[in-house]
Structure 1
């Protein structure tokens, strides 16, 4: 795997810190640049607990959600968001437990939201509450453990939710996020399409169309897009996925997603290793069928008046013309590799960097294989050692054509301005 996700909706900070420390120990021991993705607790609403642990709701009955602290029963239960009664009105829909339980607001009485049960069923403790079409009024801020490479902010609804030095992946899971997707893409480093919650708050038939549209927009912006939730959901209980799930994973790749993510399959499933191996097999087989060079030829260049953009585009074009084995991007901040990745060349992108954080962050960028290298101050030695590192790591061999790109003067971020084609072993 490239990235380990830590879901802060489950587990306290101390618990998650222990898991993060374990990841650090393993990746150091294996010398693997596995990045940490912190999924922060967003504007989440949950019901509280019932006296008997669960109840059964029947269609048509009256059921109340209250801001008061009470012990739940078959008629009433507390909610974690104490101002919920201020944000809903009669006629609003309230969905609980990923939409399995459906309520319609009948009236507001003090701190109580009196509802009619539309879809009944068994309801257990601490289930999630969704409010389709109701603007979130809850702060999604949560302090993050220091020195982590990436963070995923839940339920991002506008670009105002961003603005951090660390890499921000905006998690789109409601109509507000979809409506503001253009400005969110502009502000964030990447986008996650959280299809599970999205499918609760948005009509199911719209989700595939929204997924396709978001992937296209993020792809065109040259940023990263993660397709997530229920990718191989049946593997939580079964050792093999359904054919529909296999096609779903492949379809996301054909659409241009940068990454595919497992959640419940590995976090709580019976077959976590099998699920991961299955995902990898599907991804490799599908990517072998994608004509990336053909897609590049019809891809809009974008603003090539910018030197970095122009050189990145030219690097990919040169690699295609020479049928190069790989592109070697020498970078400190990761920007050079990200810009090359934007154009999705058909060959491997090898990113050589002396910065450990960049080394890990680049592991989530499409098509990039990051290598940690030593700091160099001579251009000739830098490019020579980068080529040697690519060979030592098995990405290229003597006689292969490679295209190198870097920014000069060395050490200055965001100034990719040089490309060079060479043959491995003849540098």
Structure 2
């Protein structure tokens, strides 16, 4: 299945898209990998979805990635005696450790870590920012605040803390249980870690995962931006989670942060996903707004590795149409006359490594000679990542003998992954590459391709060789 599209599409599964037939329709419409939201999916549901995805993968013959998104800490106020209360800007309102029902003056906050961490002057945003409070007095047991804006608060509304660094890690007890269940399947490729604040938040999940899944850090806290380079270094990928980020940061700053994060990940050669409300209106409408189409196109122009659908594909009325629309917008942007120039202007300088030098040379040769494809043999996935980092104008075919590697690379920009045995010798390496390029629809007899591989063959992390090959009339190497 030749997508003829470089940016990848990550579709969330849910009530509208949990059946196997629908998953196949979403994949055929353009979804390259699927997200299972552990905030809503039980372990049984997760295992069922994984089985259905793998069944579709087997039928379609193309590696499909699976992302399990951990819920992370959900901070909420307690309940009120009358379900909700009315407030006025300027009045005093207290959050405390008493579990008595709340009233117009106070409410229970069942999170001692917040009571201990908030300092005078810190903001507390309730219900996605609809109510804004500012702390004026804190003693570790209660937080006396002034209402800045908003007029009401009701039971169990969420609390966001844009100015406060919490002492707790990103993994909750529920997350640990969910992570164990995810790892036990041996069939999930990525785990997304919610509400990352600091590099240390990644330590526990890395220790538990032990390399069995890729770790994707969701950036939705201002504190994460202060140490973003360290977080990127310790992550396998990043997600720009614009929903919570837009609550804790001024909305008008989110587009700039999105650009900053995409470019930082491109420099580091780490995949980056842009998420949240990309085609929000398609939850209930068959077509998106013009602004949403523009939003998707900006992420594609910036060179994001993947763009994500949430409720649009999970619970919306038009999941297939949403995926098809996102694929159509992305493909159109990539054919735009301005696209190559914009992508090239943001291309990162190669690092002083053999893999980077080989990837740079492969891209330059392919574009100079107008070759049909760059083919890279990759066992661990590193060579595929470095080839993608160069953002070549020609297709990249990533050949791997390891299905788990191919699935994990399904989130990476421009990579068309094919599972194949390691080559037995140099002749087999070239013939195999030529044959796959033709069979996958990226070239034809008479075309030329460039191949990067490691010698000795099959040695992980040893990419040290380039070979230009001519596709003969039989689909094998002619020279």
Same fold (TM over 0.5): yes
Quote the residue 1:313 is aligned against: 360
- For the pair 1:169 / 2:169, whether they are aligned, the reply is no
Equivalent residue, structure 2, for 1:27: 57
Cα distance in 2 for partners of 1:193, 1:352 equals 29
Which residue of structure 1 lines up, in the alignment, with residue 150 of structure 2?
120
- Whether 1:288 aligns to 2:318 is no
Relative contact order, CA 8 A, sep 6+: which one is greater? 2
Partner of 2:245: 198
2:74 match: 44
Q: State the alpha-carbon separation in 1 of the partners of residues 59 and 345 from structure 2.
A: 42
Q: CA deviation at 1:251?
A: 1.1
Once residues 372 and 73 of structure 1 are traced to their aligned partners in structure 2, the CA distance between those partners, rounded to angstroms, is 61
Q: Report 1:267-286 matches (<5 A).
A: 267-286=314-333
Q: Distance in 2 between matches of 1:64 and 1:367?
A: 52
Mapped pair 1:225 → 2:225:
no
* CA displacement, residues 235-263 of structure 1 (integer Å, 9 cap, x when unaligned): 22322211111111111111221211111
Return closer, same or farther for 1:297/1:234 CA change in 2, 3 Å cut-off: closer
2:402 to 355, 359, 372: 355
Partner of 1:59: 88
- The 3 A distance-change label for structure 1 pair 11 and 124 is farther
Shift of 1:161: 2.6
Structure 2 partner of 1:155: 195
Alpha-carbon contact 1:238-1:270 (below 8 Å) kept = yes
> Which secondary structure does the structure 2 equivalent of 1:83 belong to?
helix
CA contact (8 A) 2:375 2:451 kept: yes
- Indicate conservation of the 8 Å contact 2:57/2:63, yes or no: yes
**Matches for 1:52-131 after TM superposition, within 5 Å:** 54-60=83-89, 62-71=92-101, 76-108=106-138, 111-120=141-150, 123=153, 125-131=155-161
| Pairwise CA distance, 1:169 | 1.5
Name which of 351, 356, 369 aligns with 1:322: 369
Classify the secondary structure of the residue corresponding to 2:309.
coil
**Aligned equivalent of 2:162:** 132
Normalising by the residue count of structure 2, what TM-score does the alignment of the two structures yield? Answer: 0.82
Q: 1:209 aligns with which of 243, 256, 260?
A: 256
**Unpaired segments of 5 or more residues in structure 2?**
1-30
Query: Which structure 2 residues correspond to residues 325-344 of structure 1 after superposition, within 5 A?
Result: 325-344=372-391
What is the TM-score with the length of structure 1 in the denominator? Answer: 0.91
1:80 & 1:351 partners in 2: Cα distance? 49
Shift of 1:353: 1.0
Please give the alpha-carbon distance, in whole angstroms, between the structure 2 residues aligned to 1:178 and 1:297: 24
Distance 1:240 1:255 in 2: 24
Q: Deviations over 1:309-357 (max 9, x none)?
A: 1111111111011101111111111111111111000011011111110
Worse-matched range after superposition: 292-301 or 352-361 = 292-301
What secondary structure is seen at the aligned counterpart in 1 of 2:165? coil
Name which of 306, 311, 320 aligns with 1:259: 306
- Counterpart CA distance in 2 for 1:72 and 1:28 is 54
Deviation at 1:95, TM superposition (A): 0.8
Aligned equivalents of 1:422 and 1:110: distance in 2?
69
- Report the Cα distance in structure 2 between the residues aligned to 1:13 and 1:62, rounded to whole angstroms: 43
How many residues were matched structurally?
425
- CA distance in 2 between counterparts of 1:230 and 1:18 reads 26
1:3, 1:35 within 8 Å by CA — same for their partners in 2?
A: yes
Distance 1:382 1:74, change over 3 A: farther
Equivalent-residue separation in structure 2 for 1:408 and 1:64 (angstroms):
67
* Conserved 8 A contact 2:347-2:391: no
Partner of 2:236: 189
Mean alpha-carbon deviation: is it higher for 15-24 or for 228-237? 15-24
Where 1:215 maps in the other structure, the secondary structure is helix
Q: Give, in angstroms, the shift of residue 371 of structure 1.
A: 0.8
**2:286 & 2:85 partners in 1: Cα distance?**
32
Deviation at 1:200, TM superposition (A): 1.2
Matched with 2:10 is none
Residue 59 of structure 1, CA deviation: 2.3
SS across alignment from 1:46: coil
Farther-moved stretch of structure 1 (14-23 vs 401-410): 14-23
Supply the distance in 1 between the matched residues of 2:271 and 2:236 (Cα, whole angstroms): 7
Q: Is the 8 A contact 2:34 2:65 kept in 1?
A: yes
1:403-422 map, 5 Å: 403-422=450-469
> Which whole-Å deviations, capped at 9, do the CAs of 1:159-202 have from their partners, x for residues lacking one?
22335323122111121111111111222122211111111111
CA distance in 1, matches of 2:98, 2:346: 59
Identify the range of structure 1 (271-280 vs 88-97) with the bigger mean alpha-carbon deviation: 88-97
1:179 and 1:56 map into 2 onto residues whose CA distance is 36
Q: 1:378 to 1:79 in 2, by over 3 A?
A: farther
Which residue number corresponds to residue 417 of structure 2? 370
Q: CA deviation at 1:298?
A: 8.3
